[in-house]
Amino acid sequence: MYILKKITATFLILFSLIPMTTVCYAGGEKEETNPAPSSPAEPIETTVSAISQDVPEDVRNKVKAASAILIEQSSGKVLFEFNPDEPRAPASITKVMTLLLVMEAISNGELSLSDTIIASEHACSMGGSQIWLEPGENMTVDELIRATAIASANDAAVALAEHLGGSEQGFVDLMNARASQLGMNNTCFKNASGLDEEGHFTTARDIATMSAELLKHELIKNYSTVWMDSLRGGETELVNTNKLIRFYKGATGLKTGTTDEAGRCVTASAMRGDMQIIAVILGAQNRDEQFSSASTLLNYAFDSYTMTSPPSIDDQLLPVKIEGGVLNEILPVCTVPKKLLLHKGDEKQLEQIVELPDSIRAPLAAGDQIGRVIIKIAGETVGEYAINTPCEVEKMTFGKAFSLLFAAMLQN
């Protein structure tokens, strides 16, 4: 027993001489005797919510619709809503989901703009807004997107749907699956064009969700911002059904819809500076109310809100001691949100408070949240984001200590 205690004491003395790394940095370590750090994990989603719906009464009174919603695209923050979850027929706004699946297919290489699609008898039988496709007629994906996004052509939308889904019903299944993935819980699609059909419905909130997703694909703006175009060598004229494209500053789209059941509808998007806004109007009584209501909401957003970059907090991130780990301490990391949506003027009162412990016990995985940054405006908490570990920190064990001791002896 005496000999064992003596060996153990000697081991501990030797171990204390091991040149361990004291700090783990996001970009590397001071010494190469320890494993390289892993990449820091993505920060938790910023939950800035300094947004109220105290919309002036004159703005509310100008919104003439059965339901409506106004959001900022990148954050999804709701700036105004009125009956946003009431299920309604969406008419051709349905094509937002059709175009989203087309854009995603192009992005992942399943579809090319130059691919040729042969129009089926079913696609040519749609009626309503159309480009009068003939059965067997060839058109490229690019041409069919132009017809769908600009002129809201039902036959073009169904031709695209059949090409991707094998049939319109197969594509509808894809539409509903994607809607479910996006959390569109009050939506059921029955067709790819938006023609009135029993059981075909969605809501203003769900439309805003899929519109925001579609706008992540910059390619769509090559079509949704076009006022006039043509097909078949100029024989078929395309005129955008969304007059805001021509008359509203910064308009980026997105889609109109009109049927007897749906009334007049629009999901209108516009971008000024680095802020993109989406206004959804469903069930307006006439064309003037359809577009004036959307314009009113867009104007309110641009007049009232701004996108702000929070300052860096690197100088406030101090080393954190590690208890019982193979490292003595780490230098934590965080990713400051690129932009925050705030009321105009509030950016001048923005402050960030760092909450970080002096020490933390191992083991730790790379990217573990160990603290947070609280965002306040005029003393009121409006959101937060995470502070993370830059690398893995193993717990110190007898076996690990022996391994480190052996490695240090070999180096010496």
Return phi, psi of residue 118, to 5°.
-95, 125
Question: Cα–Cα distance between 324 and 112 in angstroms, integer?
Answer: 56
Catalytic: 49?
no
| Local structure of 118: helix, strand or coil | strand
- Considering 95, 129, 269, 304, which one is annotated as catalytic? 95
What is the dihedral sign for C-alpha 63, 65, 66, 69?
A: negative
Q: What is the DSSP letter of 265?
A: E
Contact between 328 and 322 (Cβ < 8 Å) = yes
Return phi, psi of residue 7, to 5°.
-65, -45
Residue type, 346: D
Catalytic: 95?
yes
DSSP states of 386-410: EEE-SS-BPBP-HHHHHHHHHHHHH
Give the closest residue to 385 by CA, choosing from 340, 322, 330: 340
Contact between 319 and 331 (Cβ < 8 Å) = yes
* Share in percent of the chain as helix, strand, coil (round to 5): 35, 25, 40
Question: Cα–Cα distance between 333 and 355 in angstroms, integer?
Answer: 13
- Considering 67, 75, 92, 120, which one is annotated as catalytic? 92
Catalytic: 5?
no
- Considering 67, 75, 129, 152, which one is annotated as catalytic? 152
* HSE value, Cβ hemisphere, 13 Å, CA-based, for 255: 31
Question: Cα–Cα distance between 155 and 123 in angstroms, integer?
Answer: 5
Question: Cα–Cα distance between 336 and 313 in angstroms, integer?
Answer: 8
What are the C-alpha distances in Å from 38 to residues 12, 82, 357, 389?
29, 47, 21, 10
Report the 10 Å Cβ neighbour count for 221. Answer: 17
Contact between 82 and 193 (Cβ < 8 Å) = no
Catalytic residues: 92, 95, 152
